[in-house]
A and B are shown apart, each in its own frame.
Chain A
Amino acid sequence: ILNVEQSPQSLHVQEGDSTNFTCSFPSSNFYALHWYRWETAKSPEALFVMTLNGDEKKKGRISATLNTKEGYSYLYIKGSQPEDSATYLCAFNVYYKLSFGAGTTVTVRA
């Protein structure tokens, strides 16, 4: 079982503010890291697949960075909107198996 940790567990952010949170994973035998967004009552939505040290990915106001040598990834939300409220999951990929963190639940207050 791979230890994938996400912090913080939850956070509240004011509409319009930016925020970020962390995913930590084993730094040895890196393969790939996935980020998902999971809104209540919906399907988890794939955001990014990150494979190379130094990778930066962006989708709209959401972006992510990857440091495989130290074993962490940051996800950033710029100018948070109420529709960004969701649980954000990261998953460490070894071959076909995803080992998920417990997620960071983001609540954007209007």
Chain B
Amino acid sequence: EAGVVQSPRYKIIEKKQPVAFWCNPISGHNTLYWYRQNLGQGPELLIRYENEEAVDDSQLPKDRFSAERLKGVDSTLKIQPAELGDSAVYLCASSFSRLTSGDGQETQYFGPGTRLLVL
């Protein structure tokens, strides 16, 4: 079974430039997550999708970050414009959740991440 796929794996951009990350979750997984890991810290949730609906985007900096999950499968996360402080690893994860009766304890499966460096 293929795991969570992310691209690109590495990205170097200059500040104020836009950047986009792509994620393909495990087939059949209805819940998709984007996390950001800053150096020396644990990953922090940016946004969670149930199918195509963003159900928790409370931690997403909406002035410069946007995300979409068209058709409830692949997802893209965009930053425009990027700032120096956006340098981090961006992780995508997916899970199969019983949305009407689930408790959120399902294992989240992670991709390898995109390492972003903003100069």
Query: Which residues of A are interface residues toward B (Cβ below 8 A)?
Result: 4, 31-32, 34, 36, 41-46, 49, 51, 89, 91, 93-103
Query: Cβ of A96 and Cβ of B97 under 8 Å apart?
Result: yes
Query: Which residues of B are interface residues toward A (Cβ below 8 A)?
Result: 3-4, 31, 40-45, 48, 56, 91, 97, 103-105, 107-113
Number of A-B contacts (CB under 8 A): 55
Query: Cβ of B56 and Cβ of A96 under 8 Å apart?
Result: yes
Query: Cβ of B104 and Cβ of A95 under 8 Å apart?
Result: yes
B19 to chain A, nearest CB (A): 20
Query: Cβ of A36 and Cβ of B110 under 8 Å apart?
Result: yes
A43-B112, A44-B91 given as contacts; is B107 within 8 A of A100 (CB)?
no
Q: Which residues of A contact B111 (CB under 8 A)?
A: 43
Query: Cβ of A96 and Cβ of B3 under 8 Å apart?
Result: no
Query: Cβ of A100 and Cβ of B44 under 8 Å apart?
Result: yes
Query: Cβ of B105 and Cβ of A97 under 8 Å apart?
Result: no
The 7 A-B residue pairs with the shortest CB-CB distance in the complex, in nearest-first order:
A100-B42, A96-B104, A95-B104, A44-B110, A32-B105, A43-B112, A46-B107
Which residue from chain B places its CB closest to the CB of A38 in the assembled complex? B110
Which residue from chain B places its CB closest to the CB of A89 in the assembled complex? B42
A–B complex contacts, Cβ < 8 Å, 6 sampled? A31-B103, A36-B110, A49-B107, A89-B43, A100-B44, A103-B42
Which residue from chain A places its CB closest to the CB of B37 in the assembled complex? A100
Q: Which residues of B contact A95 (CB under 8 A)?
A: 103-104
Which residue from chain B places its CB closest to the CB of A34 in the assembled complex? B107
Q: Which residues of B contact A31 (CB under 8 A)?
A: 103-105
A3 to chain B, nearest CB (A): 11
